[in-house]
């Protein structure tokens, strides 16, 4: 970046372009293929489930994808005291220019796809640059069009303050102090109090103590007004499809553009669904293969270009390799997946046991490397807690793994002080659990992938149902 900052570009290429293992990334990128530039949500990157899910489906439809990981996100080092924010479009502008200049993509084949914060940045960029924008079309998913209204909803009602705002602010704190070197870069930055940042429990507090200072806004209100992409819709000059759920608790329905604002620009279509939450759109119950498969019926508009014909190759994505030091770090996500295994290992106690060996050996995974990485990741978790693990092994003998929280039944048995549930639920009561305990368990379970955007109230209802099925009474 011109200011010395760094973003990372993770590529997910089509199988036909990745067969030569010796070819450079530049040689594998096919400029004649339809290409999608993907922008993740707040603190997210190419490793997020909703990003990988979208990329896999796009690859299957013949689109190669490149994910823009913002400064400090997805193992991207922070080199300047300048993070990302919902109002900042310069990095996207430079990346779009860089990619189109370098690869000279085919006409009408370079499309932007943004999620949550990324969708707001995408639409804001399109409105700011108008006909000069380097994208030929765009899709916005879960866009918080009007930031003042979204903030008012998230931080007004008590339930929202204790759930959504607290979870999002925790994600910002985690990125700032644990998942990036931001706390080191901003240590001596004028006006930023790191100790105060560690205690924030609302997104607006984080923005007040950090964002507005290094982006030079006078107030959070000014920042949110400037960051609202709804005011840029009139200048969008390429086909733009916006998809939002009416029950989205973060990109709240009251923040959506009005009918007049949409119809004022013939390039823009807004499609809403009754259900879908924030970036979920489930078609099944807790089935990771069932989210983000929306099939809306769109009205015909003379300005909307016809869909491009697509082919059907298969594809899997993998984690990026180590970072380089350039301003645009291009990384290849396209290494074939060899297999996925699910394990349950005690926190901090992974060892090259027969059980782990039988699971990982056939995949060529180095057991010692896995055990070391797992124990480091779970070192702060209380001993004797079973940690579910989903490990993905790749053809180049590398691997990634995700840890989840213990099963709900484990938490409920601990809370009730029992070792097993009732053999005859509904007839035999084996213990009690308090609503306060249900709420605490829900907060922990919400940390899991695929559950992190489900509201706490819904998780609590599910836990209450699980408790009753185990023969537990739920009491105030």
Q: How confident is the model at residue 145 (pLDDT cuts 50, 70, 90)?
A: very high
- Helix pair angle (117-129, 90-103), 10° resolution: 70
- 3-state SS, residue 358: helix
Q: Which of 8, 53, 70, 116 is catalytic?
A: 116
State if pTM tops 0.75. no
Q: What per-residue confidence (pLDDT) applies to 316?
A: 29
Does residue 465 carry a pLDDT above 60? yes
- Report CA Rg, the chain: 23
Question: Over pLDDT 90: what percentage of the chain?
Answer: 38
Distance spanning both ends of the chain, measured CA to CA: 55
Residue of 372, 366, 76, 128 whose CA lies nearest to 232: 128
Mean pLDDT score of the chain, rounded to an integer? 82
Determine the Cα–Cα distance for residues 25 and 18; give it in Å rounded to an integer.
Answer: 9
Q: Residue 25, SS3?
A: helix
pLDDT computed for residue 4 by the predictor: 82
SS3 (DSSP) at 406:
coil
Report the b/e string of 80-98 with b at 16+ CB within 10 A: ebbbbbbbbbebbbbbbeb
Model confidence band, residue 295 (pLDDT cutoffs 50, 70, 90): very low
Contact in structure between 367 and 351 (CB atoms under 8 Å): no
Q: Are 398 and 363 in contact (CB under 8 A)?
A: no
Stronger pLDDT, 135 or 164, i.e. the higher one: 135
Q: Cβ neighbours of residue 5 under 8 Å, at least 6 residues apart?
A: 71, 78, 79, 80, 82, 91, 327
Is 248 tagged catalytic?
yes
Tell the residue number behind the tokens 């819709």, with chain if given: 233
68: buried, middle or exposed (CB in 10 Å: 19+, 13-18, 0-12)?
buried
3-state secondary structure (DSSP) of residue 11? strand
- pLDDT at position 318: 32
- Pairing relation of β-strands 399-403 and 386-394? antiparallel
For residue 202, give both structure tokens: 């609302």
23 vs 340: CA distance, rounded Å: 27
Per residue in 357-409, pLDDT tens?
A: 888 888 888 889 999 999 988 887 776 788 888 888 877 778 888 788 888 88
Split at pLDDT 50, 70, 90, the class of 231 is very high
Active site residue 116: yes
b/e 142-174 (16+ beta carbons within 10 angstroms → b): bbbbbbebbbbbbbeeeebeebbbbbbbebbbe
Question: What pLDDT, on the 0 to 100 scale, is given for residue 20?
Answer: 59
Residues 221/79, Cβ–Cβ less than 8 Å: no
Residues 6+ apart with CB under 8 A from 343: 355, 356, 359, 388, 389, 391
Beta strand pairing call for 240-245 and 110-115: unpaired
* pLDDT of residue 11 exceeding 80: yes
Give all domains of the chain, ordered by start, each with its CATH number: 7-146+228-331 (3.40.50.1820), 147-224 (no CATH), 336-403 (3.30.1550.10), 408-446+453-475 (1.10.10.250)
Between 354 and 267, name the one with better pLDDT: 267
Contact 121, 128 (CB under 8 A): no
Q: With 60 as the cut, is the pLDDT of residue 426 above it?
A: yes
Sign of the Cα torsion 260, 263, 269, 273 reads positive
Q: Which of 318, 319, 376, 325 is nearest to 77 (CA)?
A: 325
Stretch 242-255: mean pLDDT: 92
Q: Which residue among the candidates 8, 210, 228, 278 is catalytic per the annotation?
A: 278
Distance in angstroms (rounded) separating the CA atoms of residues 42 and 116: 7
Mean pLDDT computed over 215-239: 94
Catalytic residue among 10, 207, 248, 455: 248
Could you report the per-residue pLDDT of 53-107, keeping only the tens digit for each? Answer: 888 888 888 889 999 999 999 888 888 888 999 999 999 999 999 999 888 886 6
Confidence at residue 294, expressed as pLDDT on a 0 to 100 scale:
37
C-beta separation of 328 from 7 below 8 A:
yes
146-171 tens-digit pLDDT: 999 999 998 888 888 888 888 899 99
214 is catalytic: no
Highest mean pLDDT among 382-391, 431-440, 455-464: 431-440
What confidence tens digit (pLDDT) does each residue in 300-350 have? Answer: 333 333 222 222 222 223 333 332 333 455 665 555 567 778 888 888 888
φ, ψ dihedrals at 271, nearest 5°: -115, 125
């Amino acid at each position: 970046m011109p200011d010395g900052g760094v973003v990372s570009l993770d590529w997910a290429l089509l199988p036909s372009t990745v067969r030569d293992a010796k070819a450079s990334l530049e040689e594998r990128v096919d400029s004649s293929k339809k290409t999608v530039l993907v922008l993740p949500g707040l603190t997210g990157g190419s490793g997020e489930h909703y990003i990988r899910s979208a990329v896999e489906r796009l690859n299957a439809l013949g689109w190669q994808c490149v994910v823009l990981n913002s400064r400090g996100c997805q193992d991207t080092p922070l080199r300047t005291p300048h993070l990302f924010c919902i109002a900042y479009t310069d990095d996207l502008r430079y990346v779009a220019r860089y990619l189109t200049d370098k690869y000279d993509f085919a006409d009408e084949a370079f499309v932007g796809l943004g999620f949550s914060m990324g969708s707001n940045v995408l639409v804001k960029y399109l409105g700011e640059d108008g006909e000069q924008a380097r994208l030929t079309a765009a899709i916005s998913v879960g866009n918080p069009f009007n930031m003042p209204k979204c903030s008012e909803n998230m931080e007004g009602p008590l339930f929202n303050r204790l759930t959504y705002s607290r979870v999002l602010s925790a994600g910002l704190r985690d990125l700032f102090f644990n998942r990036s070197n931001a706390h080191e870069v901003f240590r001596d930055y004028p006006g930023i109090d790191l100790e105060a940042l560690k205690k924030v429990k609302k997104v607006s507090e984080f923005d007040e103590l950090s964002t507005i200072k290094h982006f030079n806004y006078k107030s959070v209100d000014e920042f949110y007004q400037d960051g609202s992409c709804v005011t840029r819709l009139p200048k969008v000059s390429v086909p733009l499809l916006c998809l939002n759920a009416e029950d989205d608790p973060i990109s709240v329905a009251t923040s959506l553009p009005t009918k007049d604002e949409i119809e004022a620009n013939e390039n823009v279509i807004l499609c809403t669904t009754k259900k879908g939450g924030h970036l979920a759109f489930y078609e099944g119950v807790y089935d990771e293969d069932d989210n983000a498969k929306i099939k809306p019926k769109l009205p015909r508009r003379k300005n909307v270009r016809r869909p491009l014909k697509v082919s059907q190759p298969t594809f899997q994505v993998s984690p990026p390799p180590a970072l380089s030091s350039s301003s645009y770090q291009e990384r290849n996500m396209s290494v074939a997946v060899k297999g996925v295994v699910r394990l349950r290992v005690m926190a901090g106690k992974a060892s090259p046991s027969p059980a782990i060996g039988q699971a990982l050996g056939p995949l060529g995974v180095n057991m010692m490397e896995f055990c070391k990485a797992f124990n480091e990741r779970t070192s702060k978790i209380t001993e004797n807690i079973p940690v579910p693990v989903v490990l993905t092994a790749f053809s180049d003998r590398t691997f990634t793994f995700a840890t989840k929280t213990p099963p709900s039944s484990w938490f409920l048995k601990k809370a009730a002080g029992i070792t097993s549930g009732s053999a005859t639920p509904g007839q035999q009561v084996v213990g009690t659990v308090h609503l306060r305990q249900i709420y605490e368990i829900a907060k922990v379970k919400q940390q899991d992938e695929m559950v992190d955007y489900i509201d706490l109230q819904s998780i609590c209802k599910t836990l209450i149902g699980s408790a009753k099925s185990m023969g537990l009474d739920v009491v105030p």
